[in-house]
Amino acid sequence: MALTQVSSNKCAGGLQKVFEHDSTELKCKMKFAIYLPPKAETDKCPVLYWLSGLTCTEQNFITKAGSQLAAAEHGIIIVAPDTSPRGCSIEGEDESWDFGTGAGFYVNATQDPWKTNYRMYSYVTEELPKLINANFSTDPDRMSISGHSMGGHGALICALKNPGKYKAVSAFAPICNPMQCPWGQKALTGYLGADRSTWEAYDATVLAASYSGPQLDILIDQGRDDQFLSASQLLPDNLIAVCSEKKIPVVFRLQPGYDHSYFFIYSFINDHIKHHAKYLNA
């Protein structure tokens, strides 16, 4: 799988790069961003996968989150893929901001016309890690995952569906119970169809209820002034209740005054990278 470098910038002593490649899962060209800390020049480094939210590309996180200094300090590679296939000429893919382009929801679609291209779950958990491990100085046994909003949903389901694959998981303002919120119901209906039982495989709250893998320490930050929290899109209480019942360790921090934006992510990204470093560098 050939990579084409799109950009490369010196940053925090390392390199912030963007690459393009032909995806076999998504049947289109995809871009991903990768931060290579200074340590990657001489050693194999662990990888933190970052999944972004609705409307985002690979650019939002690398230009707004300020993650590179902490990644350099802890010797962690950070990979940030795009949020959906693009340019697939699917009717309706660009009609709304919360479905289709920029809104892949990290599921494998089963419904026409989405099922050929919209396979972000397999892309993130299988194709992309293989690509990264084949082309960069990584330790394939040390990977973790994080994300924001729709990407927080993605990070949680990837970790819960693959016990032991990821050393740690964290999320900012994740969509915790998509079966019960408007964003999730729209996306899951469109990508998976009307049978709600098929949605359960991509709902963190449902997955947590049946989780039986190794201990997974979860860190979640949520802005108290997040407009989507008050609009019942995120529903963290549902996930926390299930994790409490199942004794899955969750640190949930409700941050006063913070909203849903990247200003919020920038404010706490260092804590999240430290959380991942604790497990990735153990």
Q: Is 89 a catalytic residue?
A: no
Q: Is 221 a catalytic residue?
A: no
Of the residues 153, 260, 272, 275, only one is catalytic, namely 260
Taking the mean position of all CA atoms in its chain, how far away is CA 154? 5
Query: What pLDDT, on a 0 to 100 scale, did the predictor assign at position 282?
Result: 85
pLDDT tens digits, residue range 193-204?
Answer: 999 999 999 999
pTM of the model: 0.98
Q: What residue ranges do the domains of the chain occupy?
A: 4-281
The CA distance from 121 to 261, in Å, is 24
Query: CB under 8 Å to 231, separation ≥6 — which residues?
Result: none
Percent of the chain with pLDDT over 70: 100
The CA distance from 39 to 45, in Å, is 7
The CA distance from 278 to 274, in Å, is 6
Q: Is 226 a catalytic residue?
A: yes
The CA distance from 44 to 166, in Å, is 17
Q: 4-281: which CATH architecture?
A: 3-Layer(aba) Sandwich (3.40)
pLDDT tens digits, residue range 11-28?
Answer: 999 999 999 999 999 999
Of the residues 148, 226, 272, 275, only one is catalytic, namely 226
pLDDT tens digits, residue range 125-172?
Answer: 999 999 999 999 999 999 999 999 999 999 999 999 999 999 999 999
Taking the mean position of all CA atoms in its chain, how far away is CA 215? 20
pLDDT tens digits, residue range 28-85?
Answer: 999 999 999 999 999 999 999 999 999 999 999 999 999 999 999 999 999 999 999 9
Q: Which one-letter DSSP state was computed for residue 257?
A: T
Query: What pLDDT, on a 0 to 100 scale, did the predictor assign at position 45?
Result: 98
Of the residues 146, 149, 170, 267, only one is catalytic, namely 149
Query: What pLDDT, on a 0 to 100 scale, did the predictor assign at position 166?
Result: 98
Query: What pLDDT, on a 0 to 100 scale, did the predictor assign at position 1?
Result: 67
